[in-house]
Structure 1
Amino acid sequence: MSELRGDLDRLIGDERLVPEWLGGLAVNPALPASVLARLLTVERLPAYSSSWLVARRLDRETTVLLVASPRVDHRLTALENSTADVDVLARLARDPEPRVRRVYAATAGDFGRRIPDGVPEIWAADSEAQVRRLAMQWDVPIGLRARLAEDDDASVRAAALTPEVWPRLSPAVRDALLGDSEPRIQNALARMFPPAPAPRPEPEVRVGDPDPFVRGRAAQDPEVPTVLALRLAEDPDDSVRLSLSMREDLTEEQRAAIAYVVPNGYHTPPRWIVEGGHLPDVARRAAASGHVLLRRSIAMRRHLPADVVDRLAEDEDFFVRLTLCQSCEDAPHALVVDMYAHWHGLKWTFLRTHPNFARPGLARFVDHPNPRLRHAALDDPEGGPDLVLRLIDDPDVGCWALRDPRLPAEELRRRLGVPGSALNAAANPTLPTATMHRLLDLAGVTAVG
């Protein structure tokens, strides 16, 4: 340790390294609470670490640090982090800053988080009507809703009204609400007691409707007989013919006879695939279809039979193969790596998180001319320190090699003093806590506690 301290002390006065150390520590996934506490005292971290608190994993101890921070932006950031401890976040229901209380009431259930016991009652008593109203979007006790249906603020009263709460209200309160001319109350009542739906037109009427939207709905409605729906095969509207072409009850010959146009961009899968795509027979039928949108639709399934995966992996359509890699956990390793290497669309890096991406043998790409494949080499689980060292000065991949936990400690220590490498070295999760604190000392960051 004394040798390490001496190495770092020789860097005192090199101002080029300070922003790199701070920026690297901010994104270090193994940052302990003691180091985080010191970083929270830094008024302005380097621009490239602006989202550091949102992206990092928080445990109870680090959530406490953010929620207790005197800075409003830190407390708000805790609410944006999906890993923050929900019981600690509950303290923000009583935050002195109204904006924090409003954001908490608006986002408390985001990411599937539970609402801690007692929090709805705190919201219901908040001095700000907006907090009381926002709280009503969550699953709060029905008795609390009934109480807020009598709130002084019309927006709160309207938000509290549901079919379940209505019988809990006294006759006097119901009469007052029914006679309330406030538009928000009237709209809430209309949602609770909608008029009876108009009788559904006969299928033949819908097929002949002048509105292409109505005809398109009829084209894909299984209650419309096939023979009747096929009248739309010559419809002048592209969307109507496309909807018809994806009906479940058509033969492949009938589909091929429709002059449908495949649109660019994302498409909505037909309901029969959404609801029945988990069934092997449905998956096989869609995968074998000549209709490319049916093949793309079934490729969206998280899991598929092995023979369906094999067929889709060899599909002539690029987007069938891409969709398989993006959505199906069974997509083959070779295809996922190939798509990662050559696809230039949005979120191509997402493919590296695919469960079939990392495999022994990727190290063979260490000298490949494609920088993405050199990056993939680092995902070889059998690759050792030598693999990392070969890529450490790569202009495209070196930053990731510096963050790799297989990087030898001696090289990691040396790179902390090299401008251009220090940031990624400081982000390496194997960096000892004592070294992190020493970097903060050298950067002039105040010690905490």
Structure 2
Amino acid sequence: MVAFHASALDGVARNPALPTPLLLRLLACEGGGDGPPRPAFRRARLPEAAVAVILAHPNPGARIEFAISARAEPSQRARLVDDPSPKVRAALAYGPEWHDPRTTVAPLPDDVCARLLDDSVPSVRAALLDSPHLGPSFVASLATHRDPAARRKAARGWEKLPTGERSALLADPDPEVRQAAALGECRRDARVTAELLRDPKSAAEALRHGILHRADAERCLAGRTHLAALAENPSLPHDLVERLAVDPDEDVRLAVSLRPELDEKRRMSIHFTVDALTRGDVQWVRDGLADPGVLRRAATSAHPLLRRTAAQSPHLPPDLLDLLARTEDQVVDNLLGVYHPDTPQEVLMRVYARLGGTFSAWMAETHPRFPREGLAARYADHPDGNYRRLAVRDPAATPQLIERLSHDLEVWTRQAAAEDPRLPLRRLREALHVPELASSAGANPALPEDKMTAVLERAGVPA
């Protein structure tokens, strides 16, 4: 018989029914090239025996995969803090590079972060300070750290720092720390803003957020310096806002149109254009994604960027969710499909139909509202293979239909059928030898244990 295709091993590594003894055997394998299959180290709820094998694995690449797993418990990943490889410690320090946007990554314990920040290797310390997964208590503790880079990181969380730490950072001996602190303080002190405007490196951000003296604002207007940033400034006098609202620069007018104090009539009277695919990340709306008042203002606005930013909130009440679902805006549809757990099925299907590919497959597999019932009857014979793939999701799909779809002309449809536990065992065994189906067949939870064992043996995974 022809040997199993090599990708079958990757499938077995992510098979949810993989018995613990086979998992331990797979994890212990040193493998070739980059080591054992990556999915094995990113599984959820790994047993303690498996974690112990990973921590002692001789291949640093294997330990790195565990260090960046979004599914592993922080307390488990934290045990790599003393790993002999700086690359592993740096991977641990930064954490997962991608995770489901509907979830958050729990931070490492503060004491582990503190040890990583004191690591002897600069790349480990830098990875920690670049991490988006640090807890707020640890970030606040950085204000008194001996490393200036750590104090700069603390200054970026200015609003959460106690008064004493703020004062110390404003008088810090390191000029970059002082500048980072000043960029936080300028939001409440026009004198600090004026000082920052003298430095080209900090001028744009100071203009965007700082309290402004009118003379400084007029000077920027006269010199046409960073006008788009100036147009966002919350302290800008009303008459200067009105001047910028008719500025010849389109980016400046767009920035004015997004100001939070404008009423809807004035906002939409400004001449601006928005690209059809611009996501929309309006800061005052992003800051209020859990605020009912902010969400209502943004979701009911005619301004597409306000609506698109509101669509990123999982907290939209039913009436606003329904309103945004009817806006006929493709970007709004996409964002609702990613972020809101109650997105209407018709929106999810619109996104699926329009985008196809990996994103639609991910959404269909993970969104709690994506339809399932009736898909076989509707789509099993659809001319588009992207839709025939949906028939596999139907709980009423028969084994005969699943087998038929495993021979479909569209490879994604064949792969979806090969991973379905209703696939007849004869066809499932056959799929292990088909290059484009082997990984899906290996991940099929109906795959018998003896076949999983055979895949490991054919791949040279030692007992």
Q: TM-score, normalised by structure 2?
A: 0.71
Asked whether the equivalents of residues 121 and 144 of structure 1 are also in contact (C-alpha less than 8 Å), the reply is: no
Displacement after TM superposition at 1:361 (Å): 1.9
| Separation (CA, whole Å) in 2 of partners of 1:90 and 1:134 | 15
Residue type of the partner of 1:318?
A: Q
Instruction: Name structure 2 gaps, 5 residues minimum.
Output: 99-103, 156-160, 186-190, 195-210
| Separation (CA, whole Å) in 1 of partners of 2:313 and 2:385 | 30
Q: Does 1:100 align with 2:88?
A: yes
Cα separation, partners in 2 of 1:287 and 1:266, compared to 1, 3 Å: same
Instruction: Name structure 1 gaps, 5 residues minimum.
Output: 1-10, 150-155, 169-173
State the partner residue of 1:57. Answer: 44
Residue among 73, 92, 98 paired with 2:61: 73
Asked whether the equivalents of residues 67 and 88 of structure 2 are also in contact (C-alpha less than 8 Å), the reply is: no
Cα separation, partners in 2 of 1:362 and 1:91, compared to 1, 3 Å: same
Displacement after TM superposition at 1:46 (Å): 10
Residue type of the partner of 1:43?
A: G
State the partner residue of 1:371. Answer: 385
Cα separation, partners in 2 of 1:395 and 1:279, compared to 1, 3 Å: same
Asked whether the equivalents of residues 295 and 312 of structure 1 are also in contact (C-alpha less than 8 Å), the reply is: yes
Residue among 438, 445, 448 paired with 1:429: 445
Q: Does 1:388 align with 2:402?
A: yes
Secondary structure class of the residue paired with 2:278: coil
Secondary structure class of the residue paired with 1:312: helix
Secondary structure class of the residue paired with 2:81: helix
| Separation (CA, whole Å) in 1 of partners of 2:125 and 2:263 | 55
List per-residue Cα deviations over 1:395-437 (Å, max 9, x = no partner).
Answer: 3201111111232445434544666644432221222333311
Q: Does 1:32 align with 2:43?
A: no
Asked whether the equivalents of residues 41 and 62 of structure 2 are also in contact (C-alpha less than 8 Å), the reply is: no
| Separation (CA, whole Å) in 2 of partners of 1:328 and 1:215 | 35
State the partner residue of 1:361. Answer: 374
Cα separation, partners in 2 of 1:145 and 1:100, compared to 1, 3 Å: farther
List per-residue Cα deviations over 1:112-162 (Å, max 9, x = no partner).
Answer: 44445864686588665665787788666999998x84xxxxxx5764797
Which structure has the bigger radius of gyration?
A: 1
Displacement after TM superposition at 1:65 (Å): 1.9
| Separation (CA, whole Å) in 2 of partners of 1:324 and 1:124 | 38
Displacement after TM superposition at 1:222 (Å): 4.9
Displacement after TM superposition at 1:238 (Å): 0.9
Cα separation, partners in 2 of 1:210 and 1:55, compared to 1, 3 Å: farther
Displacement after TM superposition at 1:340 (Å): 0.5
Q: Does 1:399 align with 2:418?
A: no
Q: Does 1:311 align with 2:345?
A: no
State the partner residue of 2:212. Answer: 201
| Separation (CA, whole Å) in 1 of partners of 2:179 and 2:436 | 63
Residue type of the partner of 1:257?
A: S
| Separation (CA, whole Å) in 2 of partners of 1:439 and 1:75 | 23
Q: Does 1:19 align with 2:6?
A: yes
- Superposition pairs of residues 200-279 of structure 1, within 5 angstroms: 200-203=211-214, 206=217, 209-210=221-222, 215-224=227-236, 226=238, 228-263=240-275, 265-276=277-288
| Separation (CA, whole Å) in 2 of partners of 1:201 and 1:141 | 28
CA RMSD of aligned residues (A): 4.4
Secondary structure class of the residue paired with 1:273: helix
Asked whether the equivalents of residues 204 and 228 of structure 1 are also in contact (C-alpha less than 8 Å), the reply is: no
Q: TM-score, normalised by structure 1?
A: 0.73
- Superposition pairs of residues 79-90 of structure 1, within 5 angstroms: 79-90=67-78
- Superposition pairs of residues 76-155 of structure 1, within 5 angstroms: 76-107=64-95, 112-116=105-109, 119=112, 128=121, 149=146
Cα separation, partners in 2 of 1:215 and 1:366, compared to 1, 3 Å: same
List per-residue Cα deviations over 1:264-285 (Å, max 9, x = no partner).
Answer: 6435443453345656665455
Which stretch of the first structure deviates more once superposed, 310-319 or 38-47?
38-47
Cα separation, partners in 2 of 1:317 and 1:72, compared to 1, 3 Å: closer
List per-residue Cα deviations over 1:349-384 (Å, max 9, x = no partner).
Answer: 343222221332222211111222111222224444
| Separation (CA, whole Å) in 2 of partners of 1:293 and 1:360 | 35
Question: Identity of aligned pairs, percent?
Answer: 32
Asked whether the equivalents of residues 406 and 415 of structure 2 are also in contact (C-alpha less than 8 Å), the reply is: yes
| Separation (CA, whole Å) in 1 of partners of 2:267 and 2:118 | 60
| Separation (CA, whole Å) in 2 of partners of 1:248 and 1:124 | 39
